[in-house]
């Protein structure tokens, strides 16, 4: 729809009850049981951001989703770098930002979001790493109401970013970060390393304190290992 000549207004939301080609980072698949979960996209026009600032939008959307879901689940939800929502050690949701670039500015961004809401069981290979709001609360949640709540939080946080009043954005992101300041195992180039997440740069690079000093990693250069 964005590629058509008729312009779409910023804030347009398109929801799919059944998503059969869900995508994640670097070609990963996103699986969702039809009619049980939220799979939707939001169109934004963040032309006020340069390409070097694009991770600010990633942090903004992550924080907004975490805040919206925490209003239902209470404590325990974190943001797993760079763009997943976790409860404990299980993935509850994820997002993928696809930018349309004009020069050095972001002309448009399609924010694809998937949240596991009312799915009660997962395929055997996903059970150990996927969770849902139903599994946390042991009850079903109204999808339409939850979608409205998430969109409301995204709008609020996005308008802060647009107004330039997000001075604490990185601190908020770090304070909600999964495994922040916690010693854990990671896989890098097939090797298991132990480290502590100490920072995320403005461009989105992850800093890990290891026995060989502080190392920085880009997306998909390092893999989280579940204990």
Q: Phi-psi region for residue 27, left (φ > 0), alpha (ψ -120 to 50) or beta?
A: left
| 203/116 same-domain check | no
Tokens representing 15 are 């929801």
Q: Which residues of the chain have pLDDT under 50?
A: 25-27
**Residue 26 DSSP one-character state:** G
pLDDT tens for each residue of 26-61:
445 556 688 999 999 999 999 999 999 999 999 999
Residue at a domain's end among 175, 197, 216:
175
How much is the pLDDT for 125?
86
The verdict on residue 70 lying in a domain is: yes
How much is the pLDDT for 165?
79
How much is the pLDDT for 26?
46
Q: What domain range is 123 assigned to?
A: 13-175
**Cβ contacts of 163 within 8 Å, gap of 6 or more:** none
Q: Report how many domains make up the chain.
A: 2
pLDDT tens for each residue of 54-85:
999 999 999 999 999 999 999 999 999 999 99
């Amino acid at each position: 729809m964005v590629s058509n000549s008729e312009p779409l207004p910023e804030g347009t939301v398109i929801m799919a009850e059944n998503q059969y080609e869900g995508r994640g980072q670097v070609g990963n698949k996103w699986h969702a049981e039809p009619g049980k979960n939220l799979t939707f996209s939001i169109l934004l026009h963040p032309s006020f951001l340069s390409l070097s600032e694009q991770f600010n939008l990633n942090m903004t959307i992550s924080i907004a989703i975490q805040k919206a879901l925490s209003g239902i689940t209470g404590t325990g939800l974190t943001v797993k770098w760079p763009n997943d929502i976790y409860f404990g050690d299980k993935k509850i949701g994820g997002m993928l930002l696809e930018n349309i670039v004009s020069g050095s500015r972001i002309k448009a961004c399609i924010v694809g979001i998937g949240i596991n809401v009312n799915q009660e069981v997962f395929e055997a290979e996903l059970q150990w790493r996927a969770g849902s709001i139903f599994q946390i609360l042991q009850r079903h949640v109204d999808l339409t109401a939850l979608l409205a709540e998430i969109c409301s939080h995204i709008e609020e946080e996005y308008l802060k970013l647009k107004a330039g009043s997000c001075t604490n954005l990185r601190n908020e992101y770090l304070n909600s970060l999964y495994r922040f300041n916690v010693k854990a195992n990671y896989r890098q180039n097939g090797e298991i390393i132990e480290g502590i997440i100490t920072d995320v740069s403005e461009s989105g690079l992850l800093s890990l304190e290891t026995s060989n000093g502080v190392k920085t990693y880009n997306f998909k250069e390092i893999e989280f290992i579940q204990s």
